[in-house]
Structure 1
Amino acid sequence: MEKEQIRAIRRLYEHVDKVNLTQREQQMLALLNNEQQEMDFHTLGNGIYRIIQFKSNSFLELSTTLKLLLPDLIRVNQEEQLVIEQFSGENLTKSELFDVLKTLSQDTGEHIHAYVGFFVERDDLKSLYFEEKMAFEQGQSYSEMLISKSLKVHSSPMLKKIQYRLKENIEDQHLVKSLYQTSGNQAQAAKLLYVHRNTLLNKIKKFEQKYGLQLMGSDLILAYNLL
């Protein structure tokens, strides 16, 4: 939403008693008054966070809905059209979040363009945000952008961390290799791993929660090249 529109909404509610506002109006006004600020990641407390970026013609309404759907969402920036979510262990995976946004798109009739970032420590958030913003502006996922740059692991601290953790876990390596060898075919990968397909799906979900990578498409290629 443009700055002029935001100011107009503020003026509209400037002399209105909050008691007379609906809950939805109060939430929207709170977003405007308290969270319309320049991104300063150092004002966040110590912890792990991810940034979710959007391109929407009605981001104000969308961000209000997200506040209700994502209990760990702690900050909204209207001008940049992004939200910051804190890691709690109960956060939706990237796949689950995209499913939620798909449902919202169907409900509103507007396609929601979104970019779900990686969970990182607060002090790494700023540098990663610029990389993720560049990828989003180019219409790429983070893994697609890295692959186009020939997977220069040494130039990405976040990627080095993922690689380090992945190389420490043999079970996760087998999972990646099985899916890569079967071109992402879950039924075939389950046979290679000698597990039930439901067990495989649980492993894939845990992998995504742990690394922030979906085991499909360019994310799967990236994960395999990190082995």
Structure 2
Amino acid sequence: MKFDQIKQIYPEAQLVHEPKNTNVTVSFPFKDQWIQFNAATKTNRELDLLQLMFKPEQAPLQHAAKQSDWYAFLLGERNELPEKTGDFRVIQFALLKKDQQFDQKTWLKAFKSMFESVDEAFFIDETAGLLIQSESAGKLTVEELSAIIQTLDDDFSIKTICYIGQFWPFNSDFRSIIMEEQIIFNKQKNKTSALFSLPTVALNYYTAEALEKSPLMQALKKKFIGQPEWKELVLAMWHSQGNISLAAKSLYVHRNTLQYRIDRFYELSGLSLRDMNDLLLCYLLLL
């Protein structure tokens, strides 16, 4: 499909050189650029359809992956469980902006070296794959992993998006849980940071559809769409969990300036960002 044809269907679509995914915009890879859409005007079903439209075509799987017990089990080629015990997590990854010189095997080896107790790692297509890790004493934080992956991206001149799964007991429920994590990854990877986990996206993922169906919430949301400066204020207060000093620091403003903005926000919206219930409601309106 050509960009002109997409433009006829979605007049607001734009070609950009770098992806910009926020609560109001969403980007998808298109040839050597990105197509940016207005996410605020799209339903979840439309966004899912766009995700399918711009999903890269899958290349034939590597022979090594085909022989993997983990691959066969997690992707549904066999129902019996591999002979494993303990807790495991699956780290999903997708590579963006790789060039023709990219060496898949070298990158995968470097990626595996970042984690302890790796049981297996493999690509499932040209750009995406899974790493299975058994639970161990040494666990890097999301912030530490993010810094390491950024260094790896710089070395290989690519961009990596990762979902850090939870550790789950290896039992008959394991595959269905991982399948849900895969759905979460595919739906949220263009809406959040390059490295994320369930706690960072759960509220967004599990409430977005319900909010979309609510006339009351949609009516409130219209107020927020018309006030773009509110988003920055609400997010700063949410990320600081109501701590005004931390929020002021993140916004690079004086505490008194932020106090004034919060008071002004209350006058216009009737919602107090000092109250955690009101703050949660305001955050939900941005999802």
What TM-score comes out, normalization by structure 1 length? 0.50
Deviation at 1:50, TM superposition (A): 1.0
Aligned to 2:19: none
> What is the CA deviation profile of residues 8-44 of structure 1, one whole-angstrom value per residue up to 9, with x for unaligned ones?
xxxxxxxxxxxxxxxxxxxxxxx66864863426215
Equivalent in the alignment of 1:11: none
Quote the residue 1:125 is aligned against.
174
Pairing 1:95–2:95 present: no
Structure 1 segments, 4+ long, off by >3 Å, are 31-37, 57-60, 183-188
Q: How far 1:51 sits from its partner (Å)? A: 0.7
Change (3 A) 1:37 1:90: closer
Give the 3 Å change call, closer, same or farther, for CA 181–114 of structure 1 in structure 2.
same
Matched, 1:185 2:246: yes
| Residue of structure 2 in register with 1:147 after alignment | 207
Following the alignment from structure 2 to structure 1, what is the Cα–Cα distance between the partners of residues 209 and 149?
Answer: 29
Within a 5 Å distance, the mapping from 1:1-227 to structure 2 comes to: 2-3=59-60, 6=62, 35=68, 38-40=71-73, 42-56=81-95, 59-79=104-124, 81-123=129-171, 124-140=173-189, 142-143=201-202, 144-149=204-209, 180-182=241-243, 185=246
Question: Within 2, Cα distance between the matches of 1:108 and 1:184?
Answer: 39
Structure 1 unaligned spans of 5+: 8-30, 152-176, 189-220, 222-227
* Residue 179 (structure 1) shift: 5.0
Q: Deviations over 1:166-220 (max 9, x none)?
A: xxxxxxxxxxx995232793999xxxxxxxxxxxxxxxxxxxxxxxxxxxxxxxx
Contact 2:65 2:122 in 1 (8 A): no
Total equivalences in the alignment = 142
8 A Cα contact 1:60 1:78, kept in partner: no
CA contact (8 A) 1:53 1:115 kept: yes
Kindly indicate whether the alpha-carbon contact (under 8 Å) linking 2:88 and 2:135 is maintained by their aligned counterparts in 1.
yes
Which structure shows the bigger proportion of residues in strand conformation? Answer: 2
Larger radius of gyration: 2
Pairwise CA RMSD? 3.7
CA contact (8 A) 2:89 2:135 kept: yes
**Gap regions ≥5 residues in structure 2:** 1-57, 75-80, 190-195, 212-237, 250-279, 281-287
Name the SS for the 1:52 alignment partner: strand
What is the one-letter code of the residue matched to 1:61? Answer: T
Which protein has greater RCO, CA pairs closer than 8 Å, 6+ apart? 1
Q: Matched residues in 2 for 1:149 and 1:44: separation? A: 38
Matched-pair identity in %? 19
State the TM-score, normalizing by the size of structure 2.
0.41
